[in-house]
Chains A and B, each alone.
Chain A
Amino acid sequence: GAVVSQHPSRVICKSGTSVKIECRSLDFQATTMFWYRQFPKKSLMLMATSNEGSKATYEQGVEKDKFLINHASLTLSTLTVTSAHPEDSSFYICSASHRAGAYNEQFFGPGTRLTVL
């Protein structure tokens, strides 16, 4: 149980286009989903936290207009990278949790590698 999927696993796009990444919890209802970005040889950096039906909470330094997050249902959250540029190229990972707080074990998706040309 507790499986999280991401789609697509890899995407290559041209500079200036927008890319949508989906994160789904397959066998549980995720009240909270998290989006991370991982730079080469660096740790995962939390970008934003989203709760179903409400606006996402973005970390300091993350542009909310550039990285649009929607958590429309208890099993789906999407991250849209708008007007992507080469510096947005990265590995994006989502995680999902079925409760908030200290005991919120997060279940991670396999990640999406975005390359912007």
Chain B
Amino acid sequence: AQSVSQHNHHVILSEAASLELGCNYSYGGTVNLFWYVQYPGQHLQLLLKYFSGDPLVKGIKGFEAEFIKSKFSFNLRKPSVQWSDTAEYFCAVNAKDSSYKLIFGSGTRLLVRP
């Protein structure tokens, strides 16, 4: 069975600091990888996704993620965070073998201090 782990449950940064949120998955087959964001009081939104090709994926709002197959990782990065990036971030995986159902990590709450 697939599982997704996010190492950091809470992250606090100052504005302009760099961000890296860890995501590891356990599954031996081909997977598709996603990062979703949930701003306070809002619904989940897709930040970026990886299906194939260039393992460095660029998403909205300056976010990017790198798929490292050998490490089963898909870490999310942003070189300089803003106060408006305060949100909860979820990593998710799906695979053909499991009918492409999304499996979510437990989420990371990011607080950016102005």
- Residues of chain B whose beta carbon lies under 8 Å from any beta carbon of chain A: 4, 9, 32, 36, 42-46, 49, 51, 90, 94, 96, 99-107
Chain A residues with a Cβ closer than 8 Å to the other chain, count? 22
Partner of B106, one of A41, A93, A110: A41
Q: Which residues of A contact B104 (CB under 8 A)?
A: 43-45
Interface on A for B, CB 8 Å cutoff? 4, 34, 41-46, 49, 93, 95, 100-106, 108-111
Contacts of A102 in B (CB 8 A): 32, 51, 94, 96, 100
Q: In the assembled complex, how far is the CB of residue B84 from the closest CB belonging to chain A, in whole angstroms?
A: 19
A108 touches B100 (CB 8 A): no
* Complex CA–CA separation, A46 to B48 (angstroms): 20
Q: A46-B102, A101-B100 are in contact. Are A108 and B107 (CB under 8 A)?
A: no
The 6 A-B pairs with the shortest beta carbon distances in the complex, nearest first, are: A108-B44, A43-B104, A110-B43, A43-B106, A44-B104, A108-B43
